[in-house]
Structure 1
Amino acid sequence: MGDENVPSLSVCEIRTHLGMKLAFIGILRVSKDLEGPIFLARRFNSTHIPFFKRNAVSDFANFSARYVASRIGESEKMVLQEGGAKLYSLKWDNGLCIVCLTGQEYPDRVAFTLAHVVYAEFIKLYSSTWQTQMTDIKLKFPDLKEIMNKYNKPEDIDALTMTEYKVSQTLKIVRSTVADILRSGENLESLVDRSKDLSLQTKKIFKRSKALKRNACCALM
């Protein structure tokens, strides 16, 4: 599949503004009894993103998180890399999937430690009651703000935290782009058009960015 199917929604300046920062955490339920993954909780940090790009980047995070959650296997770790952004995903065998959007320089091990921390705290709060949810919902998870603030300084995450959550190093990290995980016959433009996570304005930006990319221009300029 050619480069024309790779979304340029996040390329160019996002690395400059994120660097080692954490922009988004999503908690999703994935199950065969659902039409697709649903959000249970999510948090977006726009501090390091220019005001006029915030809605588009937020849309991109929601769209990508939902799609990746539908494609990742159980107990699989995935890093989706597009432009200057990375989307980390980790799915448990109970159907809970944690997705994080960071800058290109964010450390892999810290990102997956973060996923384990979010999972552990969420399960501590909701046990298995979240498994009855059938549509997008915003469950109360006050610790998510504190976790995001803490992990926005990955250099401060100490070895004790890493050890406590015992992030498995035996699980192979799957590194992909959106183009790599498209199913046979899927077309990114049609996914974008059908997506309820993308606003009309973001869809227009996406279509414009594809045209600009052919001329080696940036997506969100």
Structure 2
Amino acid sequence: MKLYSLSVLYKTGDAKANRLVSAYELNSFSFFQRSSVKEFMNFSSKILVERTMPSSRSSVKEQEYVCHVYVKSNNVGGVVIADHEYPQRVAHTLLNKVIDDFEAKVDKKFWSIAKEDEIKFPELEQFLQKYQNPKEADAMTKINADLDETKIILHNTIEAVLERGEKIDDLVEKSEGLSLQSKTFYKTARKTNSCCVIL
């Protein structure tokens, strides 16, 4: 069980999401893959927050990862990217705690104007490390019964989250947030994995 990424984003009036802070645990990837993996985690997080309605949660399977998303009614969103074994309930409890802590410690006036990584929120890295072991973290989360009553939508792939007619390949190609190396990495990974897809 592993957490790879934890991010806080803010969804602006034009439904675009700005990444405010992020923390990563990418030691399981090779040194040469890390920058591309990080870019794709940021890219996926942004898309998912933009496509998630305020006051709702979802979990999206994408290849060997699951992206857990929560967007509050005030448009502050959180995304945690984990492996398939990581418990969904613990991931969503983590998002609750992160967003609540972020709102308490970071002044609201900075949410819409801050550029990526301008906001200092070292607690995010601490949350990512603390919740790496969900069994330890879960002992603390059992008190949070309100989360169990929340409906969490589970999508099989990121494609299911996109609007009708949108394709992930097109979004990757148009993205300014992905380097040429990351786009090539994505295309190669898609081709490699396409041999295993059963229609």
TM-score, length basis structure 1: 0.81
> Does the 8 A contact of 1:116 with 1:167 survive in 2?
no
For 1:124 and 1:97, how far apart are their aligned partners in 2?
14
Give the RMSD, CA atoms, in angstroms: 1.9
Matched, 1:153 2:133: yes
Shift of 1:194: 1.5
Give identity over the alignment, percent.
28
Q: What amino acid is aligned across from residue 87 of structure 1 in structure 2? A: C
Moved more, 206-215 or 151-160: 206-215
Cα distance, 1:158 vs. partner?
4.3
Is the contact between residue 42 and residue 138 of structure 1 (CA under 8 Å) also seen in structure 2?
no
8 A Cα contact 1:26 1:65, kept in partner: yes
Aligned residues: 196
Q: Report how far residue 166 of structure 1 moved.
A: 4.8
**Structure 2 unpaired stretches of 5+:** none
Asked if residue 169 in structure 1 is aligned to residue 148 in structure 2, the reply is yes
SS at match of 2:20: strand
Structure 2 residue 190 is matched with structure 1 residue 210: yes
Q: Distance in 2 between matches of 1:155 and 1:143?
A: 20
Matched, 1:26 2:1: no
| Contact map agreement 2:20 2:111 (CA 8 A) in 1 | no
Where structure 1 has 5 or more consecutive residues not aligned to the other structure, the ranges are 1-19
Separation (CA, whole Å) in 2 of partners of 1:152 and 1:131: 27
Q: Which 4+ residue blocks in structure 1 deviate beyond 6 angstroms?
A: none
Larger relative contact order, structure 1 or 2 (CA cutoff 8 Å, min sep 6): 1
CA-to-aligned-CA distance 1:6-52 (integer Å, 9 cap, x gap): xxxxxxxxxxxxxx111101100002246x10011111111222323
Q: Secondary structure at the match of 2:8?
A: strand
Q: Are 1:133 and 2:113 an aligned pair?
A: yes
Q: Which residue of 1 aligns with 2:175?
A: 195
TM-score by length of 2: 0.90
* Alpha-carbon distance change, 114 to 167 in structure 1, aligned in 2, over 3 angstroms: farther
